[in-house]
Structure 1
């Protein structure tokens, strides 16, 4: 096996990548130790290292020469800082990777309602890689080959300053600076270096792209690395995690969600990548580097549950900012900076991950009609207000607009929460979210003291509720995907989670058990059967991990705790070696599929794990005498 990132190299399994973040951009570290994905200057910008999508689209290697398979990879505990360790005949070598965090730079632009947590630092706009020889000796090599604009524009390096330790490459509006204590030469678009390290020797390489100064020498690099380690550990210390064997999964999920949060706005990206396939070699390849309004309620619940009120509030302020700006129509998704237009196109010059094409950037789903958006934002506002028992004029104006939009549109078909590109339908989950908008809206109206609206909205909620029960339940008493369908859909698991019906309702129990029996492969839950739902594609897909975690939560709610615990243990066993998740799991191979790491999956994990832990605590609690 040769080093990943060059033409002809094999593609690593999606789940084997490590995830780095400075809350402005992200990077993926391949199991070879190579950086194979990084976009600049932010998560949804064009890539400078894109070899995860095409072996000629740029990579960044630092490691021992001639040894391609590391002995181990891990995060420094409680951080987003990675260590990759190599064993080779005669020595051990360790590479430490981090996107550096630094003190708060006051000039950083932030939205007008965005606040800062006491432990927040700003991104330093530096990718730091440090290598040391732990014992013995090793020949090491540096190969840095950025290709700007998704693999279209090869770098043109030139030396700056004195000696061969500094270089710059310019492209696509980015000035990429390379600072190191190695002697660097150029071979076309490749900046490269070779040297021998002996026991105790160490070197650093810093790649930077803004006015923030990179480390000047190894001592400063180490100092700034320690600062970054302490930042993440201090951030994690603010959380509230139960003393349980699954605690590490909760902590890694929390760190991942924070890493997917775009610091300047508070928006949470759905994933760090685009076009990692849902079907091996298939065409279900989407750009997930944006933020979905639908994710907001679950994100707030997860952050609040784990004690991260600042992060919850930041995301809340972001979605209320875009809702206030969208006087006409609230979209289902936005750019991380709040931009509305996300035009979709294909990058036909890229071969795709393991030949899965097309490679897409942008996401035309932003133009779709999806009726869950109103319930998601009203549910988020209700959760926010309930913690404060106060509803100001600004939020109330948003509530009125979004509830009225829901009531105006709930009777019409839409594309559903899975964003199918087939014919619009009367999706059950969409109706349920419209009910959420009316139901939570009525509760907010009572808090506001607007009893007239509270009564009208409650009547509308009751009407939607009755309509769903009349049209979305089959003869078995099971909720179906949409009105007039026979097919099941995993989104029906949200019915008890959103409070549409109590968990002890017979229809809830029958629906949960029917999905568990009929919509699973090896116990893992599918969104729907592709043969039964017109989603615009003919290819199959893996099981959706978020749906499997929803199953855990609903099994707890219907008092099937043993079954829930067993499924939860199974799902946690599918985590990557670094406890990360993509969007889907192939139930036959256990291989993870889709964009990575996936925020929605980690949000559902937090919900499910906390449900199981709380149920276990309740089970152990002695009964009243």
Structure 2
């Protein structure tokens, strides 16, 4: 690189935007919030995950701000989740004292119909309050606390129009704009300053205050700090009671598996059973670049990993909810499912850009919607049918409506497997004969045949087995290099991390030399400092400019693949490295920049946490087997 050539932006460049991994994640299973280290809400969309944001400093420092914390102090002493929950506890030291802040999107027992985000699935006994509740308690000394609430509706486009409560010391206020409204309640005295409300108060040791934000049309009243404390306590009980139902192995990786389970549940949209791929939109895969996507939707390819994780953790209710969501989805005209849907099941996810927003650390454009929703990606059939087989084996039942889905997806895979597509990574270049897409079509027909056998439909099972064998022969004839390595697509010898799925889905047995060669090639030649890339951007026509970081899901897939081919110690070593790069709160984004140690991409990323659970399970099961056999 010459002195005149521009340098790529560093993920660790000085910036007013906090590092992605420094945000804390809150959820009530209807929406989620990200809390920055300074105590401000960097991201909150209401009433649901994919609604427009009301606080969006994550994407533009002027796109909505809400903070309660010590005045003039912005770096906390400690941040942690209450164990077994998505309730955040932040401890602050100031020159004059100590305070503790608790943040929760609250949940509790409900026996009424949810009018804010109506359920299509049977409602649970506990549900969202549609409240963000924050309490501040002075532990020692005296601390001046400040509250600032400045929502900007519709992704930072519309400032708030405030209506203040009555009385000389106003404790309530309502903000409206762009067809949305939120209410603020607190025991502090609020004052109006332009487009924001603000309060200040000096707390003394033992004193506690609260603030509650509501987006329900019929405002849920939080009259005092005692009620705020009660709601947070109820939320803590909800998360712990849910986690009590999960099977978390007694292993040194227990905490990582448990936190991943809490993230996956937190990214689940309770009204329909859908799981969002991530909480956010447009967090960059390339610092300052254009690889910025909206991930607040549910991808069919996530389904098999979701089912694997939920069933491994004994969370069968959540698994069934997700399968029922899939069964409800409206297919395309040919009967195939789209690669992704809205969390309410909608098909149209048309993509637009918000050019007035700066983007995270200058990464533009900011995208709303996802233009890949109508791409041809042939892996979708395998993901859906593997999920149905997993669920059928676990539940020992194959409902009529799921069998109808098996037939349509298998016939679509039969009809389409010879055609090129955009691949698992949603490349925006020319369609190719991607090996992993054909591999997943093999999965589709292999699983469909097994399901047909379970229904004693021998003729259909034989036909689908025959097609699966045909696909397998085609891949092994055209999709393997001269050195015995699975190639990215039929027109290249380039590598692609998605071919690790050949191990995970059993396309080749663990002792097959072609599988071992593929795993070794990816580990040796498709990594940066040991972390796996999806592909080499300079070798792949993905329709975009710039490089990207290592993909965490691919690194977790490599852990699984190494374990499958018998490289248990290499798998264990990589798993330990991956666990060490988790965020301070145990969360993972989509990517990891090995040069800076920073997380990149949307956050927290369901796929990364699902792959962590799957990789951990591969090793834990083997270790427990060794322990049992050695007793």
**TM-score range with shorter-chain normalisation?**
over 0.9
574-583 vs 85-94, greater mean Cα deviation: 85-94
Choose from 516, 537, 540 the match for 1:530: 537
Partner in structure 2 of residue 299 of structure 1: 306
Contact 1:105 1:122 in 2 (8 A): no
Partner in structure 2 of residue 12 of structure 1: 18
Pair 1:449-2:459 in alignment: no
Cα distance, 1:537 vs structure 2: 1.2
Choose from 123, 138, 143 the match for 2:143: 138
CA-to-partner distance for each residue in 1:211-233, whole Å, 9 max, x for gaps? 25131111111111111111111
Report runs of 4+ in structure 1 exceeding 3 Å deviation.
109-113, 323-329, 621-624
Distance in 1 (alpha carbons) for counterparts of 2:192 and 2:457? 70
Distance in 2 (alpha carbons) for counterparts of 1:111 and 1:598? 25
CA-to-partner distance for each residue in 1:461-509, whole Å, 9 max, x for gaps? 1100110110100000000101121100000100011111111111111
1:363-378 matched pairs, under 5 angstroms: 363-378=370-385
Distance in 2 (alpha carbons) for counterparts of 1:328 and 1:616? 43
Pair 1:242-2:281 in alignment: no
SS of the residue corresponding to residue 550 of structure 1 reads helix
Cα distance, 1:588 vs structure 2: 1.5
Cα distance, 1:111 vs structure 2: 8.7
1:309-388 matched pairs, under 5 angstroms: 309-322=316-329, 328-388=335-395
Distance in 2 (alpha carbons) for counterparts of 1:84 and 1:152? 31
Choose from 125, 148, 155 the match for 1:150: 155
CA-to-partner distance for each residue in 1:256-299, whole Å, 9 max, x for gaps? 00000001000000000000000111110000000001100110
Distance in 2 (alpha carbons) for counterparts of 1:502 and 1:112? 43
SS of the residue corresponding to residue 140 of structure 1 reads strand
Return the TM-score normalized by structure 1: 0.96
SS of the residue corresponding to residue 329 of structure 2 reads helix
Distance in 1 (alpha carbons) for counterparts of 2:519 and 2:330? 34
Choose from 218, 227, 235 the match for 1:220: 227
Partner in structure 1 of residue 7 of structure 2: none
Partner in structure 2 of residue 401 of structure 1: 408
SS of the residue corresponding to residue 621 of structure 1 reads helix
SS of the residue corresponding to residue 177 of structure 1 reads strand
1:196-595 matched pairs, under 5 angstroms: 196-210=202-216, 211-322=218-329, 328-595=335-602
Cα distance, 1:390 vs structure 2: 3.0
SS of the residue corresponding to residue 243 of structure 1 reads coil
SS of the residue corresponding to residue 16 of structure 2 reads coil
Distance in 1 (alpha carbons) for counterparts of 2:393 and 2:330? 19
Distance in 1 (alpha carbons) for counterparts of 2:353 and 2:213? 29
Unaligned runs of 5+ in 2: 1-13
Change (3 A) 1:534 1:249: same
Distance in 2 (alpha carbons) for counterparts of 1:492 and 1:303? 24
Contact 1:389 1:447 in 2 (8 A): no
Contact 2:37 2:74 in 1 (8 A): no
Cα distance, 1:451 vs structure 2: 1.5
CA-to-partner distance for each residue in 1:53-107, whole Å, 9 max, x for gaps? 0000011110111111111111011111001111111200111100010223442
SS of the residue corresponding to residue 306 of structure 2 reads helix
Contact 2:26 2:33 in 1 (8 A): yes
* C-alpha RMSD over aligned residues: 1.6
Cα distance, 1:389 vs structure 2: 3.3
Contact 1:81 1:97 in 2 (8 A): yes
Change (3 A) 1:181 1:92: same
Choose from 606, 612, 620 the match for 1:605: 612
Unaligned runs of 5+ in 1: 1-7
CA-to-partner distance for each residue in 1:286-328, whole Å, 9 max, x for gaps? 0000000110011000011011111111111111111568774
Distance in 2 (alpha carbons) for counterparts of 1:436 and 1:84? 46
Distance in 1 (alpha carbons) for counterparts of 2:420 and 2:314? 38
Q: Number of residue pairs matched? A: 615
Return the TM-score normalized by structure 2: 0.95
SS of the residue corresponding to residue 66 of structure 2 reads strand
